[in-house]
Amino acid sequence: MTSTPDTVPALLASALGADPGRPLVTYYDHATGERIELSVATTANWVSKTANMLQDSLAADGSTTVSLRLPTHWEDVVWHLACWSVGCRVVGPDADADLVVVGPEVLTGDVPVADEVVALSLRPLGGRFVEPLPAGVVDYNAEVLGHGDVFSAHAPPRPADHAPLLERGRALGLDPGDRLLVTGADDPVDALLAVLVVGGSLVLLVDSSGAAVDDARVDAVAATERVSRRPGGPASR
């Protein structure tokens, strides 16, 4: 008898075993025209590499707090899944944390105060930074690809640890296989949890210039991607 997945990594593993080639995360940037689609297998591979980086290079474990200060982006999805796989506790962007993960604004702003600071360029295809980073800041995309494709947590998260996360996912009330559209105005974390719980997939639509994505663009992407749900809204089919 197959057990019901009771942690976030177990949900991802279940999706990988069921259909590794199906899309899990599709990302659109209205400002640049970028579109990238990650299958379940590709997502799981990025998650494994990132989790190995967290555990092996950054000494993260179940006692580590991580502040993810990233915009809605496919790499933000990867980081959430990796943190949960290691067992780290993800805290808000304004909270003190052992590890802080930021975007390219680290080049022009203040470097966060933390034991470890990791920066993401957010360039297409996971490109590394072109400009030198401040001292002590790790370039995620320069580091992560050197880590292993298979991850095994030293102390795997317990079902009790992830029960609140799974409950957040169920709260959106998606149907099995739903394809959920998320814009920069929506909560991507709850959406991610929701599609994992029901074996669905996520479409992220943002504008990296900071402008709001207009309704016409949202409707066009929803039609192209055959979206079935939008957060807080009715089914589209």
What residues contact residue 123 under an 8 Å CB cut-off, 6+ apart? 141
Per-residue pLDDT band at 236 (split at 50, 70, 90): very low
Q: The whole model's pTM is what?
A: 0.95
CB 148 within 8 Å of CB 44: no
pLDDT in tens, 19-68: 999 999 999 999 999 999 999 999 999 999 999 999 999 999 999 999 99
CATH of the domain at 137: 3.40.50.980
Whether residue 87 is contained in a domain is answered as yes
Q: In the beta sheet, which residues pair with residue 39?
A: 23
Whether residue 206 is contained in a domain is answered as no
Whether residue 101 is contained in a domain is answered as yes
Whether residue 52 is contained in a domain is answered as yes
Residue 101's domain comprises 42-146
The count of domains in the chain is: 1
- Calculate the dihedral angle through the C-alpha atoms of 156, 196, 101, 187, rounding to the nearest 10 degrees: -140
Exposed / middle / buried, residue 46 (Cβ in 10 Å: 0-12, 13-18, 19+): buried
Whether residue 209 is contained in a domain is answered as no
Mean pLDDT of the chain: 93
Q: Which helix (H) or strand (E) holds 27?
A: strand 23-29
